[in-house]
Chains A and B, each alone.
Chain A
Amino acid sequence: MKDKIMMIVFVLILGTILATTLVGVDTFTEPMISKNEKIKELSTILNTFGIEFTDETIEKAFSDNIETIEYAEMAVYKNTAGDIAFPFEGSGFQGPIIGVTVMDADGKTIKAVGIKSQVETPGLGSRITEKQFLDSFIGKQFDPELILVGAGKSAKNTDVDGITGATMSSIALIKVINDDYKIFISSSKGD
C-alpha cells in the first residue's frame, strides 16, 4: 500500500514540475515562433515577386505591395502590376514541399517560382531549391500543364528541364505545381 501511495505522490511531483516548465516555456516562445513563421511565409512571397525588404519593414512591404484575394479553396496574392501568385503545397519525394508561383497577368505564363520549405535529400533532391533550376521556370507556360523532361531536353515552352540526381524530387515538384495550378484556375474562373 505504501508503495502505491509513494508512486502516486511521485507521479504528481514529477508531473507538476514538468508541466510547469513546459507551460512556462510555451508561453514565452509561442509568440516568437508564430512571428518567425509569419516572416518566413511573407518573405517567400516577397522574394518570389522580387520585392526588396528587411526584417523590420517586411509587414509594411507586404501590405504596400501585395493584395491578398481569398477564394474558397485557396488564397492568392496580387502585386501592384497585376501579377498573381498562387501558393502550392504537396508531397515531394521525402516530405512536404511548400512554395509559391508568380503568374503573369494572363494567368498562363510563369514569372517566378519560390520554395518556402522542403525536406528532400540534402545535396540531391534539395537541389530543386537552387536558383538556376527555379529560374528555368521563368517564361514557361501551362498548356494545359507543365511537363518535366530530361536535363537539357526542353523544346517547347511547357517543358521544364529536370535535374540529374534530383529526378524524383523534380517530378514531385512539377506535379504539386500542376495540381495547385488547376485549383487556382478553377477558383479564379469561378470568381
Chain B
Amino acid sequence: MTFTEIKKTKSYQTVLDGIWRDHPISSMVLGICSALAVSNTVANAIAMGAGVTFVLVATAVLISGLRKIIPRRVRMITYMIVIASFVIVVDKVLKAYFPEISESIGPYVGLIITNCIIMGRAEAFYSQNNVFHSVLDSVSNGFSYTYTLVAIAIVREILGFGTLLGFQVMPDSFPKWVVISMAPGAFFVVSLFIWITRTLAKVESD
C-alpha cells in the first residue's frame, strides 16, 4: 500500500482525528478541568495521562464489544458504570504501586469518571464502531491528552518550581513564578497551547 492509499483508510483517519484534527483538548475542548488541575508537575501529568488512556482503552474495548446488545435506553448509564469501574481499578493500582503520586493527584483520579473525553468518545465513536477502530481511537485520544498535559506541565514545572521531573534545571538564582504552578497559571498556559495549536491547524487546512 502506498502512503496515499493508507491515508484513505479508516484507521489512518481515526488516528489523525484523535491526535491532531479532533484533538480532545485544543479542538474539542474536552477534559479541560483535569488538564488545568493536574498539569503542575510532569510526574503528575504522566500519571494522569496514563490513567485516562487506560480507562479510555478499557472502555473502548468493552463498549464497542457489547455495542450490539447495549439497550439504547440505558446506554448512558452503561457508559458511566463501565468508566467508573475502570477508574476504581486505576485508583487502586496507583494507591498500591505509586502511593506518592496517588496522594499528590488526590481526588482527580476519581474525577476521571467525569472526564468528558471518555464519555464523549464512548457516545460518539465506540458505540458505533468495531473493537479495532475503537481501540485505535482510544489510544490516539489518550496519547493526545497525555502529550498535551506533559507539554503544559513541562512549561509549568520549569517556570513554577525550577525543576523537571523533580530534578533542578534552573539556576538557584532563578525567581520561581509561583503563580504558574497555581490555578491561574494553568489557565494562561492551557490557553496559550490552544491558541498555538489552533493557529497551526488553520495554516495546515489552508
Q: Which residues of A contact B74 (CB under 8 A)?
A: 7
Cα of A13 to Cα of B66 in the assembled complex, Å: 9
Q: Which residues of A contact B191 (CB under 8 A)?
A: none
Q: Quick check: is B128 within 8 A (CB to CB) of the other chain?
A: no
| Chain A nearest CB, measured from B95 CB (Å) | 5
B85 touches A26 (CB 8 A): no
- Whether A32 touches B97, Cβ cut-off 8 Å, given contacts A123-B178, A123-B182, is yes
Q: Quick check: is B88 within 8 A (CB to CB) of the other chain?
A: yes
Q: Quick check: is B70 within 8 A (CB to CB) of the other chain?
A: yes
Q: Quick check: is A14 within 8 A (CB to CB) of the other chain?
A: yes
Cα of A13 to Cα of B71 in the assembled complex, Å: 13
- Whether A33 touches B95, Cβ cut-off 8 Å, given contacts A13-B66, A14-B81, A17-B62, is yes
Partner of B71, one of A3, A25, A32: A3
Q: Which residues of B contact A26 (CB under 8 A)?
A: 92
Chain B: which residue is nearest A28 at the CB level? B96
Q: Quick check: is B106 within 8 A (CB to CB) of the other chain?
A: yes
| Chain A nearest CB, measured from B5 CB (Å) | 38
Q: Which residues of B contact A117 (CB under 8 A)?
A: 103
| Chain A nearest CB, measured from B126 CB (Å) | 14
Cα of A40 to Cα of B102 in the assembled complex, Å: 13
- Whether A21 touches B89, Cβ cut-off 8 Å, given contacts A29-B95, A119-B106, A123-B178, is yes
Q: Which residues of A contact B95 (CB under 8 A)?
A: 29, 32-33, 36
| Chain B nearest CB, measured from A146 CB (Å) | 28
Q: Quick check: is A22 within 8 A (CB to CB) of the other chain?
A: yes
Q: Which residues of A contact B62 (CB under 8 A)?
A: 17
Q: Quick check: is A18 within 8 A (CB to CB) of the other chain?
A: yes
Q: Which residues of B contact A3 (CB under 8 A)?
A: 71
Q: Which residues of A contact B86 (CB under 8 A)?
A: 21
Query: Contact string, A1-27, partner B, CB cutoff 8 A, digits 1/0?
Result: 001001101100110011001100110
A29 touches B96 (CB 8 A): yes
Partner of B81, one of A9, A18, A119: A18
Q: Which residues of B contact A17 (CB under 8 A)?
A: 62
Chain A: which residue is nearest B178 at the CB level? A123
Query: Contact string, B158-202, partner A, CB cutoff 8 A, digits 1/0?
Result: 000000000000000000001000100000000000000000000
Q: Quick check: is B99 within 8 A (CB to CB) of the other chain?
A: yes
Partner of B99, one of A6, A10, A21, A36: A36
Q: Quick check: is B82 within 8 A (CB to CB) of the other chain?
A: yes
Chain A: which residue is nearest B89 at the CB level? A25
Not counting A13-B66, A14-B78, A25-B92, a sample of 4 additional A-B residue pairs whose C-beta atoms are within 8 angstroms of each other reads A22-B89, A29-B93, A36-B96, A40-B99
Interface residue ranges, A against B (CB under 8 Å): 3, 6-7, 9-10, 13-14, 17-18, 21-22, 25-26, 28-29, 32-33, 36, 40, 117, 119, 122-123
The 8 A-B residue pairs with the shortest CB-CB distance, nearest first, are A32-B96, A29-B96, A29-B92, A18-B85, A36-B99, A25-B89, A33-B95, A33-B96
